[in-house]
Amino acid sequence: MTSLNIYSEKDILEFVTKRKGESKFGEKVTFISDPANLDSELVDSKSKYVLFGINESVGVKANKGNQGTETAWNCTLKSLLNTQNSSLNKGKKVLVLGCLEFPELMKASKQLNTNNPEELKKLYGLVSEIDEEVTNLVFKIVSAGKIPIVIGGGHNNAYGNIKGTSLALNKPVNVINFDAHTDFRALEGRHSGNGFSYAFHEGFLNRYFIFGIHENYTPKKVLEELSAHNKHINYNTFEAIAIRKETTYEDEMKYALNFVKKEAFGIEIDLDAIQNTASSAMSPSGFSVNETRQFVSYIGKAKKVTYLHLCEAAPLLENNSSNQTGKLLSYLITDFTRAN
């Protein structure tokens, strides 16, 4: 299955609204000139970051969530590529690769009923197909010495990010996950709720820190599983930080970073963790946008960061057409590229 749609300069500029006297981010990003030479162009590119999207919500459906995460990529580009290019916001640092598209798998997923055990198994199989594509692409990018910035899809794609990075570096990697949920559910078949548990049990994930889980939505069995692996897995809760004020946000960021920073690690940001943000599991309670930006900026400064994944955003679920979700994702991307 060939699912990668590589963007040309023309494709990228179609997102850009030009203004006289201004230089837009999208006019300065780099791109692949010859898709047939993808591997060599990635290696030779002077851009540090490789940005790509994953247009799917199959993993979310397989986890019985609300679909819509396939819409994040285009909304993000519309905002990001129209930000100002300047010494404070350098487009040339980013290579816009394109996106992984899964129209056939998406179509198949919409015809399957998650309440039917046999059809649910078929959904798990579709997610595994997506896993393979994500793994292969992340492997290429990391092997080329670049840092992937991955936009969209469900949190099932954390598995491909972790596995691809691990295979490229030839060792297990660490991850810090900014999330209301652990996504460490049972190994029952692949979906958006068990990407980390699969990566851990298959030896691709070494140390795992979950930042800000919600106490109301963390099952007892999952807590027991985390406790059983406490040398490799750690977490804090949103309630301890933001509600009971048992600790400070700044101290917890330091604590989390110290847990993963000695080895190569990825940053996972689940938009479900941000209050009132259009996502697959939108919540009225959570961290603020500015706290999330602060997190990405602070953690992104670490020397051994290997990738950033922004997932579970579902602009399709917004109540208006102002593209606030795309703008939020754009802020997080540029906070990251300025930090590292």
Two structure tokens written together for 85: 């290019």
Please check the confidence at residue 1 and state whether its pLDDT lies above 60: no
pLDDT tens-digit map of 282-320? 899 999 999 999 999 999 999 999 999 999 999 988 776
Model confidence over 72-127: pLDDT tens digits? 999 999 999 999 999 999 999 999 999 999 999 999 999 999 999 999 999 999 99
- The fraction of the chain above a pLDDT of 70, given in percent, is 98
Q: Are 315 and 278 in contact (CB under 8 A)?
A: yes
**Rounded mean pLDDT, 65-71:** 91
What CATH number has the domain bearing residue 65? 3.40.800.10
15: left (phi over 0), alpha (psi -120 to 50) or beta: alpha
Q: How many whole angstroms separate alpha carbon 5 and alpha carbon 118? A: 32
CA distances from 14 to 10, 28, 32, 98, 243 (A): 6, 14, 16, 13, 45
91: domain range?
A: 4-339
Structural domain total, the chain: 1
Q: Are 260 and 207 in contact (CB under 8 A)?
A: yes
- Determine the average pLDDT of the residues in 183-205: 97
Residues 167-186 pLDDT 10s: 999 999 999 999 999 999 99
For residue 280, what are the contacts with CB-CB under 8 A and spacing of at least 6? 57, 60, 65, 66, 67, 68, 69, 154, 192, 272, 312, 314
How would DSSP label each residue in 240-288? IIIIS-SS-HHHHHHHHHHHHTTS-EEEEEEGGGBTT--BTT--SSSB-
Rounded distance between C-alpha atoms, residue 197 and residue 131, angstroms: 14
Give the Cα separation of 245 and 248 in Å (integer): 7
Find residue 284's DSSP bridge partners. Answer: none
State yes or no: pLDDT of 249 exceeds 90: yes
**Quick one: tokens of 319?**
């109540």
What is the predicted pLDDT for the residue at 2?
62
pLDDT above 90 (res 322): no
